[in-house]
């Protein structure tokens, strides 16, 4: 009734909720901690408690991708961790570039959390000559015309846009011309992109709004 | 069958999913744009299309809080916008402090998106004497011992932690001692806080992971 090491089932037309993907990411961080403590097996209840969701939610999220546990025994920590990373595409390293060397771009360029999860920032680009040539930690700020070469050299598929809103669409177009297929957009505007390009818009205020919602609705 | 201007029903024991709260935040941004164009009425279908979810999802999200629309007519844009902001607690301004004046802290300190949504950063704190006294835009970087006074003066309830992981718990304790009740935590560690304190952990990598998931599972 169990598959040793789990198996990642083929993705059908099945649409996986984004919330599930976010939680998988959270589970894998938790499993990483658990594994470091030398724990071999874990139940959905333990995972649920560790990350603050219900055990049923953990089982449902994992069930989208196959069967990873043994009834009455639980999950093998290392196997589950490996499988979740594979589902998320994190069993390989991704090269990423940041466009916009302002405060946010610079902060993201050196954000330790990216490296830990397999994201390697290989360049920060900006058109401001007063920034070009400077380094953010060990990453050089380069002019925009060097972007095509870097993208090609490192086979970069992911770009992070942190330029002001009015330049965001131009930057997105430029990224797409250069075969970047995934964009994380911090500029507060909607980007128009071809269908095969994946865009994720990040608005940091949403996080504060969830806090205010919880504050005013507390008990 | 409709309530003019909508009404926000009492929150019972009903637990609102966080995803709903996030979407309300997205809807309100969209309604803001729609309102600027002078549009008076909007359907759940229009909202759905504008933000990329299903019309049923829009109706379900709003139904948690009461009845805002008129069947066959739709929602009054201004009324709905007002009600959503009220639900989110954004019909007032919130004073916020940032602890940690590194790249991320500084970036958040001047992040324009916060102000637009009613979050006013009233101070950035850091214990590094080489940072204290400098300004990030118009916001002074202050030493930690000035925090109690500022929190009291501005009745600050929200703090953003961007210090290194190893200091995050101490900073959280200090915030709580000073009656801050809501914490947005960017440090990649779990904070132990009393039950009545609201913590939201932000991990910026999750956004990239949702991109990689989508990339490897694309068609």
3-state secondary structure chain B: CCCCCCCCCCCCCCCCCHHHHHHHHHHHHHHHHHHHCCCCEECHHHHHHHHCCCHHHHHHHHHCCCCCCECCCEEEHHHHHHHHHHHHCCCCCEEEEEECCCHHHHHHHCCHHHHHCCEEEEEEECCCCCCCCCEECCEEEECHHHHHHHHHHHCCCEEEECCCHHHHHHHHHHHHHCCCCEEEECCCCCCCCCCCCEEEECCCHHHHHHHHHHHHCCC
On chain A, the residues whose CB falls within 8 A of the CB of B16 are 213, 217
Buried b (16+ CB within 10 A) or exposed e, B164-196: eeebbbebbebbbebebbbbbbbbbbbbebeee
Check residue A3 and give its pLDDT: 36
Nearest CA in chain A to B88: A213
Check residue A60 and give its pLDDT: 92
On chain B, the residues whose CB falls within 8 A of the CB of A106 are 103, 107
Q: What is the average per-residue pLDDT within B18-38?
A: 90
- Which of A102, A196, A198 is the closest to B211 by Cβ? A198
Cα–Cα distance for residue pair A119/A157, rounded to 1 Å = 11
Cα–Cα distance for residue pair A206/B5, rounded to 1 Å = 25
Q: What is the average per-residue pLDDT within A156-173?
A: 94
Lowest mean pLDDT among A166-170, A199-203, A212-216, B169-173: A199-203
Which residues of A, range 70-99, sit inside 8 Å of B by Cβ? Answer: 87-90, 94, 96
Check residue B164 and give its pLDDT: 87
Q: Do A209 and B90 touch (CB under 8 A)?
A: yes
Check residue B209 and give its pLDDT: 93
Strand partners, A42: A75
Establish if A210 touches chain B: CB-CB under 8 angstroms: yes
Q: What is the average per-residue pLDDT within A119-133?
A: 95
Residue A109 has pLDDT above 50, yes or no: yes
Q: What is the average per-residue pLDDT within A147-173?
A: 95
Mind listing the pLDDT tens digit for each residue in A50-63? 887 889 989 999 99
A118 torsion bin: left (phi>0), alpha (psi -120 to 50), beta (else): left
Check residue A151 and give its pLDDT: 98
Which residue would you say has higher pLDDT here, A7 or B156?
A: B156
Mind listing the pLDDT tens digit for each residue in A10-21? 444 467 888 889
Radius of gyration from C-alpha coordinates of chain A: 20
Sheet with B182-185, edge to edge strand ranges: B135-136, B139-142, B119-125, B94-99, B158-161, B182-185, B198-201
On chain B, the residues whose CB falls within 8 A of the CB of A215 are 89, 157-158, 181-182, 198
Strand partners, A95: A120
On chain B, the residues whose CB falls within 8 A of the CB of A214 are 182, 198
On chain B, the residues whose CB falls within 8 A of the CB of A136 are 103
Q: Do A205 and B119 touch (CB under 8 A)?
A: yes
Check residue B2 and give its pLDDT: 34
Residue B11 has pLDDT above 70, yes or no: no
> How would you classify the pairing of strands B119-125 and B75-76?
unpaired
Residue A161 has which token pair? 């846009």
Establish if B154 touches chain A: CB-CB under 8 angstroms: no
Establish if B209 touches chain A: CB-CB under 8 angstroms: yes
Residue A112 has pLDDT above 90, yes or no: no
On chain B, the residues whose CB falls within 8 A of the CB of A207 are 184, 200, 202
Residue B68 — very low, low, confident or very high, per pLDDT cuts 50/70/90?
confident
Residue B8 has pLDDT above 50, yes or no: no
Question: CA of B178 to nearest chain A CA: how many angstroms apart?
Answer: 17
Residue B81 — very low, low, confident or very high, per pLDDT cuts 50/70/90?
very high
Lowest mean pLDDT among A7-16, A28-37, B2-11, B31-40: B2-11
Residue B7 has pLDDT above 70, yes or no: no
Check residue A211 and give its pLDDT: 92
Establish if A203 touches chain B: CB-CB under 8 angstroms: yes
- Which of A110, A202, A215 is the closest to B182 by Cβ? A215
Establish if A108 touches chain B: CB-CB under 8 angstroms: yes
- Which of B29, B182, B214 is the closest to A211 by Cβ? B182
Element (H, E) at A211: helix A205-216
Establish if A40 touches chain B: CB-CB under 8 angstroms: no
Mind listing the pLDDT tens digit for each residue in B206-219? 889 999 999 988 75
Q: Which of B108, B158, B137, B182 is nearest to A162 (CA)?
A: B108
Angle between helices A55-63 and A18-36 (to 10 degrees): 110
Check residue A14 and give its pLDDT: 61
Q: Do A211 and B116 touch (CB under 8 A)?
A: no
Check residue A91 and give its pLDDT: 92
Determine the residue among A20, A36, A208 to mutate to test chain B binding: the one whose Cβ has the most chain B Cβ atoms within 10 Å.
A208
Residue B154's contacts (CB-CB under 8 Å, 6 or more residues apart) are B95, B122, B123
Q: Do B22 and A119 touch (CB under 8 A)?
A: no
Cα–Cα distance for residue pair B163/B125, rounded to 1 Å = 10
Check residue B14 and give its pLDDT: 60
Cα–Cα distance for residue pair B131/B135, rounded to 1 Å = 9
Average pLDDT, chain B: 88
Check residue B194 and give its pLDDT: 94
Q: Do B212 and A16 touch (CB under 8 A)?
A: no
Question: CA of B52 to nearest chain A CA: how many angstroms apart?
Answer: 11
Cβ(B212)–Cβ(A89) under 8 Å?
A: yes
Check residue A67 and give its pLDDT: 82
Check residue B201 and give its pLDDT: 85
On chain A, the residues whose CB falls within 8 A of the CB of B90 are 209, 212
At A42, is the secondary structure helix, strand, or coil? Answer: strand
Lowest mean pLDDT among A188-197, B121-130, B145-154: A188-197
Q: What is the average per-residue pLDDT within A176-188?
A: 93
Q: What is the average per-residue pLDDT within B32-58?
A: 90
On chain B, the residues whose CB falls within 8 A of the CB of A102 are 107
Cβ(A198)–Cβ(A182) under 8 Å?
A: yes
Cα–Cα distance for residue pair A203/B10, rounded to 1 Å = 28
Q: Do A213 and B21 touch (CB under 8 A)?
A: yes
């Amino acid at each position: 009734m169990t598959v040793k090491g789990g198996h990642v089932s083929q993705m059908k037309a099945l649409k996986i909720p984004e919330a599930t993907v976010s939680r998988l990411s959270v589970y894998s961080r938790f499993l990483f901690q658990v594994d470091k403590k030398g724990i071999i097996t874990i139940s959905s209840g333990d995972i649920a408690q560790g990350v603050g969701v219900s055990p049923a939610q953990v089982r449902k999220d994992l069930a989208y991708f196959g069967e990873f546990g043994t009834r009455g025994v639980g999950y093998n920590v290392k196997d589950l961790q490996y499988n979740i990373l594979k589902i998320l595409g994190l069993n390989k390293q991704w090269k990423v570039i940041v466009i916009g060397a302002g405060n946010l771009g610079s902060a993201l360029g050196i954000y330790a959390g990216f490296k830990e999860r397999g994201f390697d920032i290989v360049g920060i680009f900006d058109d401001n000559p007063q920034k070009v040539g400077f380094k953010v930690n060990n990453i050089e700020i380069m002019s925009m015309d060097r972007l095509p070469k870097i993208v090609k050299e490192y086979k970069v598929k992911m770009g992070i846009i942190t330029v002001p809103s009015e330049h965001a669409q131009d930057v997105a177009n430029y990224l797409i011309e250069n075969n970047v297929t995934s964009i994380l957009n911090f500029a507060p505007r909607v980007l128009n992109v071809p269908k095969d390009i994946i865009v994720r818009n990040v608005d940091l205020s949403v996080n504060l709004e969830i806090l205010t919602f919880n504050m005013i609705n507390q008990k």
